[in-house]
Structure 1
Amino acid sequence: MRKGLPEFKYLTFDVVGTLIDFEGGLKDCLAGMAAEAGVEIDGEEALTLYRAARYSDDAGLFPDDLVRVYLAIAPKLGLPAERKYGERLRDSAKSWKGFSDSAEALARLATNYRLVAMTNARRWAFDFFAKELGNPFYAAFTADDTGTEKPDPAFFEKVFDFVASEGNSKDDILHVAQSQYHDIGISKKLGITNCWIERRHAQKGYGGTIEPVEFTKPDYHFTSMAGLADAVAVAPS
């Protein structure tokens, strides 16, 4: 049987895609460049091109890697293939918005749990994301802190070690994320209870996130962070 929501001490979160609308941020920035260049782009097509370029063998850390990604996809979108535009796409991360329900839901959840961020983004970008979300996190782990990226189990092990240093275990964690590939599949394999936030429930495909080899059925499933917060509020203690 899965554990009840009130039984956890920690909620660990994927950030980019779960709490921060990176797809919207990317599309808005690219659309602005397209308008300046006098061309039109399809947002979903741009995300498909982004996904293919982002998850290549020569990928770097996120979001610094957006410079390389932009130069790879710009010709296919009719955009100028100049580094300054790639840097503009990278720097747009500083102003990406949280989903409309993210900050409020996190504030509500912080009254019941220790919130821990687990992001493949670099620390400099996470600092902007955390501020956008109202700085709700008890602790945070970035690609800079772990030296790796999810779905590498080593990333999760860093968090397990932190929780153990506080006298707790991975059984006290509910991992919350939208990415089947980066989070839901591996958390299941590692024996962590997980919660899938299906942000793209009203859209086809995986957008800017790599498609998993196989779908993993989550322990909990909501289409928004508000849904999770509401479920916690009514869960019997």
Structure 2
Amino acid sequence: MRWVTFDCFGTLVDWRHGILTSADLIAPGQGPRLLEAYNRHEPDVQAETPELRYRHVMAESLRRACAEEKVELQADDASVLAATIPYWPVFPEVEAELSTLRAAGWNLALLTNCDRDLIAETLRRLPVRFDAVVTAEDARAYKPANAHFELFKRSYEPAAWVHAAQSYFHDMVPAHRLGIRRVWINRQGEQAPDPTIIQRVLPDLHGLLTAVQNL
């Protein structure tokens, strides 16, 4: 079977919008600062405690972001990201581009640094059916560890496999390490620390079928 695997948040769901607007609920006007601080802290929390459930990773990362930015956080406010994540918006091109992949005979899967309960809520909002989902809870690790990719390979034995994701750090690096073909969905216009690991790059999902077929 032919598979395209995706990261979910940042690639299909607008992660930055979700964190920024959620942070604004508890600290009005501070969302942009807290978003950037959060993104600095989350990888550290995941690396320090890979067994921690993702809702608790988000809470601890938000606590650290607020402490760094000197934003007061009430004790129960740290749960705001887990509470709002089911409502974070899906990027507008997702339905058409993923439907095109499916029509061309590709199976679709998610490899996500999320828990089963949280991704189940998000799947209700995604407009295209996925054939498989591998969570951090299943893999017992967080990307950029190899565990998601290895579990997917053992479980589905893909005959052809392309991974498409927004995060260079969480997704492109391990996919390259494991020899998986890959498309970087570079929504933020970032510079790759090592451009040699990037095989294809798109600014969003438009044209993904062509990129996948060319690999």
TM-score between the two structures when normalised by the length of structure 1 = 0.78
CA deviation vs aligned residue, 1:122-169 (integer Å, no higher than 9, x gap) = 1111112212112520111101111112221222111111222xxx44
Question: What does residue 2 of structure 2 align with?
Answer: 9
In the alignment, which of 153, 172, 185 is matched to residue 197 of structure 1? 185
SS in 1 for 2:151: helix
CA pair 213-83 structure 1, distance change in 2 beyond 3 A: farther
CA distance in 1, matches of 2:120, 2:128: 9
Counterpart AA for 1:197: I
Count of aligned residue pairs for this structure pair: 209
CA pair 16-216 structure 1, distance change in 2 beyond 3 A: farther
CA distance in 1, matches of 2:2, 2:12: 20
Question: What does residue 29 of structure 1 align with?
Answer: 22
Corresponding position: 1:183 with 2:143: no
Alignment of 1:18-167 (within 5 A): 18-35=11-28, 40-41=29-30, 43=32, 45-57=33-45, 58-59=48-49, 60-77=52-69, 79-112=71-104, 113-164=106-157
TM-score between the two structures when normalised by the length of structure 2 = 0.85
Q: Is the 8 A contact 1:10 1:115 kept in 2?
A: yes
In the alignment, which of 222, 229, 237 is matched to residue 202 of structure 2? 222
Q: Is the 8 A contact 2:200 2:211 kept in 1?
A: no
In structure 2, list runs of 5 or more residues that go unmatched: none
- What's the C-alpha RMSD, in Å, of the aligned pairs? 2.5
SS in 1 for 2:208: helix
CA distance in 1, matches of 2:57, 2:25: 20
Query: What is the Cα deviation at residue 104 of structure 1?
Result: 2.5
> Whose Rg is larger?
1
CA distance in 2, matches of 1:216, 1:183: 15
